[in-house]
C-alpha cells in the first residue's frame, strides 16, 4: 500500500487553528484598515468618510502646505540626530557600565528611569526645564552669568533640538539596557583572546564586539526608528508645534487634519505618505536583512 | 456608509436609554471648565432642575473645544451619543446634521416663536439647515475687543489709548517701562483672532464680508488688505516678547500689569471678574479697537443628537426650550460674561464692558463669526497661517497676504 503524504495545509493543524484569530486580526486591522485609509485619501472626505473621488488633489494640497513641509523637515532632522545620539549614548553608557563597576544596579536603574515616564510627562518636564523664566537659563543667570542665553523652546530656528534633548533623555536609557544585554552575551573568551593578542580595548570594541553585536544593533535601530516616525505626544506636550508651526511633526499633522480641521481626506493623505516613506526604507532593508539569511 | 453608521448609532441608543422610568437623565457635554464657565453651566443646570422633572447629567470635557469636539463627534458617529452637546454656532456640526444624526427642533422653535425674539436673526440661520432648526443658540461671544491694563499705562506714564493708532504710538513708552506692549499667546487661534480683529477694525466690515462671505480672493490681494497686514506686522513686532502659551495666562499679564494690551474675545472678562478687577478702573475695554465698533456674533449653541426613545426626545425638546427661556438666558450669560441671544430681556446687572457690547448689539452693528462663514478646515488653515506669521519674522507681509488669498480661493 502506498502511504498517503499528509497535506501540507493540514500539517500542525491545531497550531494553525490557534493562530487563526491573530491572522484574522492582522489581516483585518493592519491590512484592511491600511487599504481603507489609502482608498479614502483619494476622496473629498471631510468630517465623515465620503466616496467623492478627487484623485490626487489631497496630495497636491499636502505638499503645498508649509505646515507639512516643515513637519517633514523636522522629522528628518529629529530622526537623524535621534538615531545617532541614541545609539552612541546608549552604547557608550552600556560599555561603561560593563566594566564590572560597583553599584551597577543602582546606576542602571537611575539611567533607565526616564523610560518609565510617558512622553507627555517628559514633554512637560522639559518644557519647564527649558523655560527661560525659571528653567536652566534663569538658574545659570542666578549663579552670576547674566548674559547666559539658552532658550530653545521660544526660538523657531532651534526648537526641534529642544524636543530632541527631551527625547534623547527619555529614550537612551532603554537603548543602553538593550546594548548591555548584548555586551553580556559576548563570550568572556573573546575578551581574553583579544588581551592575549595585545589588542587595545577600544579596538576590541570597534572591530570585534560591535560587529558581533549586529543583531542587537538591528533591534535597537528598529526600536528607535519606530519611535521617531510616530513622535507625537512629546511635541504635543512640550511645544504643541510652536512657536508658530516650527516644531510640527507629520504624526501631529495627521491628527490635526483629521480632528482639528475635520478633513479626513487630508489626514489620510498625510498618513499614506508616512506609510509610503516607511515602506520605501523598510522593504529593501528587510529584504536584504532577512531574505539573505534564508538563502545563505 | 453614512446610513450604516446611522443605523448602528440608533441601535445602540436603544439599549442605552431603556432605563428611563420617571425623569429622564440627560447627559449634556460641553467644554466649559474654567471657573467662570463652570459657574455659568451650573446656573443653567439649576434653572433646568427647577423647571423640569428630568435630570441634568453634566458631561464636561476638559481641554477646550479643539480637544472636546473630536470626542463629541466620535461619540455621535460611533453610536454612543449624548443627549445634548455644545458646539460653536456655525458650520462645525454641519456634516452631522447632513448625516441625519441630529434632532429636528423646528416644532419647538416655531411654537415658541424663536425667530421673533432672537437677536440677531443670523444666529438662528446658522442653526437652520434646509429650512429646519437643529440647534439652540445660547450666547454670543464676540472677538472684537482689546483689553488694556490701566496699571501698565500708568507705570509707563502715558494715557490709556482710545484706539489702535494711539496704542501703537504709546508702545515705545510701554517698552521703555519694561512692559510687553501687546501680548499674544502661542495658541494658534489667538494669533488668528487678533488678525481678524485688526481686519475688521482697519479694513472695515464690508471688506470682512467680501472676503469671508463672498470668498473674494481679489479683495485679499487689494490695497486695503495690505494696510491690514501692515498693522498685523506692527502687532507681531509689539508682541515679540510675549513668551506665553495659554490665553488666560496672557490675560493674567494684563491683570498684573506686565503687559499693556491683549486682543481677545469677551470671555477674557471672566478672568478679570475672577481676579476682582473693575472695568474702567483696573482695566479698559475697547470694542473694535476703537476704530469700528461692531460685535461679532459667534458663540455657543446646543445640538441634540437623535435618540429613538420618545421619552428622551420629549425631554430633549424640553431642555431646548428651557435653554432659550428668558430665565436661563439671564442666569447663564451674567455668569459667563457673554451676551444673551434674546433682545427682550433685562440685563441691568451687567457691568460696563458688557453694557457697551449690549449697546452695540442693539444698534445692529453685527458681523457673523468666521465659523459661520467658512468650514472648519479653512478656519484651521487660517490659524496655521497666522500663528506662523506672528512667530516667523521671515514670512513677509506680501507673502502672507498671497497665502491668505490662496486659502480664500480654495475655501468652501
Whether B100 and chain A come into contact, CB under 8 Å, resolves to no
Q: Supply the ipTM of this predicted assembly.
A: 0.71
Whether B4 and chain A come into contact, CB under 8 Å, resolves to no
pLDDT at position B69 is 87
B:39-68 residues touching chain A, CB 8 A cutoff: 66
pLDDT at position A101 is 86
Residue of B nearest to A260 (CA): B66
pLDDT of B181 above 90: yes
Residue numbers in B near A242 (CB within 8 A): 186, 245, 387, 391
Mean pLDDT, chain B, integer: 86
CATH 3.40.190.10 spans which residues of chain B?
2-140+298-361, 145-296+374-410
Minimal C-alpha gap between B358 and chain A (Å): 32
pLDDT at position B176 is 92
Angle value at C-alpha A177, between A173 and A180, nearest 5 degrees? 130
Homologous superfamily in CATH for domain A62-295: MetI-like (1.10.3720.10)
pLDDT at position B6 is 56
Partnered with residue B140 across adjacent β-strands are B339
Architecture of domain B145-296+374-410 in this structure: 3-Layer(aba) Sandwich (3.40)
Domain assignments of chain A as residue spans, ordered by start: 62-295
CATH top class, domain B2-140+298-361: alpha beta
pLDDT at position B323 is 92
Contact between chains at B375 and A46 (C-beta distance less than 8 A): yes
Residues A68, A253: contact at Cβ < 8 Å?
yes
Contact between chains at A242 and B186 (C-beta distance less than 8 A): yes
* DSSP-based three-state secondary structure for B286: strand
Report pLDDT digits (tens) over A101-150. 888 889 989 999 999 999 999 999 999 999 888 888 888 988 988 888 88
Which of the 8 DSSP states describes residue A9? Answer: G
Number of Cβ atoms within 10 Å of the Cβ of A147: 6
Give the containing element (helix H, strand E) for A165. helix A159-184
What is the pLDDT averaged over residues A82-93?
Answer: 94
Q: Chain A: which residues have CB within 8 Å of chain B?
A: 46-51, 61, 65-67, 132-133, 154, 156, 240, 242-246, 256, 259-263, 266
* CB contacts < 8 A (A, B): 73
pLDDT of B13 above 50: no
pLDDT at position B302 is 93
pLDDT of B349 above 80: no
Residue numbers in B near A262 (CB within 8 A): 73, 92, 95, 375-377
Of A193-197, B20-24, B229-233, B257-261, give the lowest mean pLDDT range.
Answer: B20-24
Residue of A nearest to B380 (CA): A261
Contact between chains at A262 and B5 (C-beta distance less than 8 A): no
pLDDT at position B22 is 62
Residue numbers in A near B66 (CB within 8 A): 259-260
What is the pLDDT averaged over residues A210-221?
Answer: 90
Contact between chains at A49 and B96 (C-beta distance less than 8 A): no
What is the pLDDT averaged over residues A7-28?
Answer: 86
Whether B156 and chain A come into contact, CB under 8 Å, resolves to no
Report pLDDT digits (tens) over B254-272. 999 999 999 998 888 878 8
- What DSSP line would sit under A229-265, residue for residue? HT--HHHHHHTTT-STTTT--HHHHHHIIIIIS--HH
CA distances from B142 to A62, A248, B109, B264 (A): 33, 30, 24, 9
Decide: residue A233, CB within 10 A, 0-12 exposed, 13-18 middle, 19+ buried: middle
Compare CB distances from B377 to A46, A50, A156 and report the shortest one's residue.
Answer: A46
Q: Single out the residue of B91, B76, B90, B107 nearest to residue B2, CA to CA.
A: B76
What percent of chain A clears pLDDT 90, i.e. is strictly above it?
47
Amino acid at each position: 500500500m502506498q502511504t498517503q503524504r499528509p497535506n501540507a495545509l493540514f500539517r500542525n493543524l491545531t497550531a494553525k487553528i490557534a493562530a487563526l484569530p491573530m491572522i484574522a486580526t492582522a489581516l483585518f486591522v493592519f491590512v484592511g484598515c491600511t487599504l481603507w485609509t489609502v482608498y479614502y485619501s483619494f476622496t473629498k472626505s471631510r468630517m465623515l468618510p465620503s466616496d467623492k473621488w478627487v484623485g490626487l488633489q489631497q496630495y497636491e494640497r499636502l505638499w503645498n502646505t508649509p505646515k507639512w513641509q516643515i513637519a517633514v523637515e523636522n522629522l528628518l532632522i529629529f530622526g537623524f540626530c535621534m538615531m545617532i545620539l541614541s545609539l552612541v549614548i546608549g552604547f557608550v553608557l552600556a560599555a561603561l557600565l560593563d566594566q564590572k563597576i560597583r553599584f551597577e544596579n543602582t546606576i542602571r536603574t537611575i539611567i533607565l528611569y526616564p523610560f518609565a515616564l510617558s512622553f507627555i510627562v517628559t514633554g512637560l518636564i522639559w518644557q519647564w526645564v527649558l523655560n527661560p523664566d525659571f528653567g536652566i537659563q534663569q538658574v545659570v543667570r542666578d549663579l552670576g552669568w547674566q548674559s547666559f542665553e539658552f532658550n530653545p523652546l521660544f526660538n523657531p530656528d532651534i526648537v526641534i533640538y529642544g524636543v530632541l534633548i527631551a527625547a534623547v533623555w527619555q529614550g537612551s536609557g532603554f537603548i543602553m539596557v538593550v546594548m548591555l544585554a548584548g555586551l553580556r552575551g559576548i563570550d568572556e573568551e573573546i575578551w581574553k583572546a583579544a588581551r592575549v593578542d595585545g589588542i587595545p580595548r577600544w579596538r576590541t570594541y570597534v572591530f570585534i564586539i560591535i560587529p558581533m553585536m549586529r543583531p542587537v544593533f538591528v533591534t535597537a535601530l528598529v526600536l528607535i526608528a519606530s519611535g521617531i516616525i510616530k513622535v507625537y505626544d512629546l511635541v504635543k506636550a512640550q511645544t504643541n508645534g510652536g512657536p508658530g508651526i516650527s516644531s510640527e511633526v507629520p504624526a501631529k499633522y495627521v491628527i490635526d487634519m483629521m480632528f482639528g480641521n475635520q478633513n479626513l481626506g487630508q489626514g489620510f493623505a498625510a498618513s499614506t505618505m508616512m506609510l509610503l516613506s516607511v515602506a520605501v526604507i523598510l522593504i529593501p532593508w528587510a529584504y536584504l536583512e532577512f531574505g539573505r539569511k534564508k538563502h545563505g | 456608509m453614512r446610513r450604516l453608521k446611522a443605523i448602528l448609532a440608533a441601535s445602540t441608543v436603544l439599549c442605552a436609554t431603556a432605563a428611563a422610568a420617571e425623569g429622564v437623565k440627560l447627559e449634556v457635554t460641553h467644554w466649559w471648565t474654567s471657573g467662570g464657565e463652570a459657574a455659568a453651566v451650573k446656573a443653567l443646570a439649576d434653572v433646568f432642575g427647577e423647571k423640569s422633572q428630568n435630570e441634568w447629567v453634566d458631561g464636561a470635557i476638559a481641554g477646550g473645544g479643539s480637544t472636546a469636539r473630536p470626542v463629541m463627534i466620535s461619540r455621535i458617529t460611533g453610536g454612543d451619543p449624548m443627549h445634548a452637546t455644545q458646539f460653536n454656532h456655525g458650520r462645525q456640526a454641519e456634516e452631522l446634521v447632513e448625516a441625519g444624526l441630529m434632532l429636528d427642533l423646528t416644532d419647538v422653535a416655531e411654537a415658541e416663536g424663536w425667530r421673533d425674539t432672537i437677536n440677531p436673526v443670523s444666529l438662528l440661520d446658522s442653526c437652520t439647515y434646509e429650512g429646519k432648526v437643529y440647534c439652540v443658540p445660547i450666547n454670543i461671544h464676540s472677538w472684537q475687543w482689546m483689553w488694556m491694563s490701566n496699571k501698565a499705562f500708568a507705570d509707563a506714564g502715558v494715557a490709556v489709548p482710545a484706539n489702535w493708532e494711539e496704542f501703537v504710538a504709546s508702545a515705545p513708552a510701554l517698552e521703555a517701562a519694561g512692559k510687553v506692549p501687546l501680548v499674544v499667546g502661542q495658541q494658534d487661534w489667538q494669533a488668528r483672532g487678533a488678525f481678524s480683529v485688526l481686519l475688521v477694525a482697519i479694513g472695515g466690515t464690508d471688506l470682512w464680508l467680501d472676503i469671508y462671505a463672498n470668498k473674494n480672493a481679489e479683495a485679499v490681494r487689494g490695497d486695503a488688505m495690505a494696510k491690514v497686514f501692515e498693522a498685523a506686522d506692527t502687532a507681531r513686532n509689539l508682541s515679540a516678547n510675549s513668551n506665553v502659551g495659554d490665553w488666560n495666562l496672557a490675560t493674567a499679564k494684563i491683570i498684573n500689569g506686565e503687559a499693556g494690551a491683549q486682543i481677545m474675545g469677551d470671555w477674557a472678562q471672566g478672568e478679570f471678574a475672577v481676579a476682582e478687577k473693575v472695568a474702567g478702573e483696573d482695566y479698559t475695554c475697547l470694542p473694535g479697537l476703537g476704530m469700528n465698533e461692531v460685535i461679532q456674533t459667534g458663540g455657543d449653541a446646543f445640538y441634540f443628537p437623535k435618540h429613538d426613545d420618545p421619552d428622551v426626545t420629549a425631554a430633549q425638546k424640553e431642555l431646548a426650550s428651557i435653554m432659550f427661556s428668558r430665565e436661563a438666558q439671564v442666569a447663564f450669560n451674567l455668569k459667563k460674561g457673554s451676551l444673551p441671544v434674546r433682545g427682550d430681556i433685562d440685563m441691568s446687572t451687567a457691568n460696563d464692558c458688557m453694557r457697551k457690547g449690549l449697546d452695540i448689539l442693539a444698534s445692529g452693528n453685527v458681523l457673523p463669526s468666521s465659523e459661520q462663514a467658512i468650514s472648519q478646515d479653512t478656519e484651521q488653515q487660517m490659524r496655521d497661517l497666522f500663528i506662523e506669521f506672528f512667530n516667523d519674522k521671515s514670512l513677509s507681509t506680501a507673502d502672507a497676504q498671497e497665502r491668505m488669498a490662496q486659502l480664500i480661493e480654495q475655501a468652501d
